Structure 1
């Protein structure tokens, strides 16, 4: 063993390497823990935002969180007339609706029920048949139809 600079005890290098590995593992473990905490916080924030904003439409979520948000409707349908992935519900009730096949129907309660329970039956012109079929109870269906009607009628 020498005291010259650059010379080390033979086992010192191994001990130093092992110590660095432990330090690195602890650092990575803490980074994983902190990352998980941050990710959970971000996810919680996104969930809260979606639940309070309806995925882009605050009115739908605020006015009717139980059905339009629970079923996912508010993420594609707006209540203020803005175009989104699905037709707006603003002024829809009682209005004429042009369908993709060129026909026109009136958005009465029967049309609204049918559009909710069988979304591919009468696709609105300018929109694709992208609305998923969701299972709704009779109570949810009536609540949703009443909500859409409460947003106003055409005219």
Structure 2
């Protein structure tokens, strides 16, 4: 499956996912308009769990809205696409998954990781292990329980 089809699948989740049953409160929303080769694929709206992950949500919103040293998610790419798993992006430093930065430094510590990856459409911090959160994020395209307890969850789509 190519990136275009995968992104279209993720966007279709916007219409399929309900937030009922979640014990986490959406405190704010932010969106990204997704393009592939200058063609609009649609808008992803993220409902952020600010009470559970306040530092993470603050970092994500800051990069979305203001950026860090002139770099934002605007124009960045999804550098990792794994069919039936996730899409990953947010490397505003190198664009290839090797860069990291945050409003707290290169990395920041983990917060609430109790949210389970029990369905598609969760946004989490892509990291290299405990306390290595930065600017990179992923969106699951399937339930991915093996990620539980390893990555900070900040929202659902």
On whether the aligned pair clears a TM of 0.5, the verdict is: no
More strand by share: 2
Larger of the two Rg values belongs to structure: 1
TM-score (norm 1): 0.28
Relative contact order, higher structure (CA 8 A, sep 6+) = 2
More helix by share: 1
TM-score (norm 2): 0.28
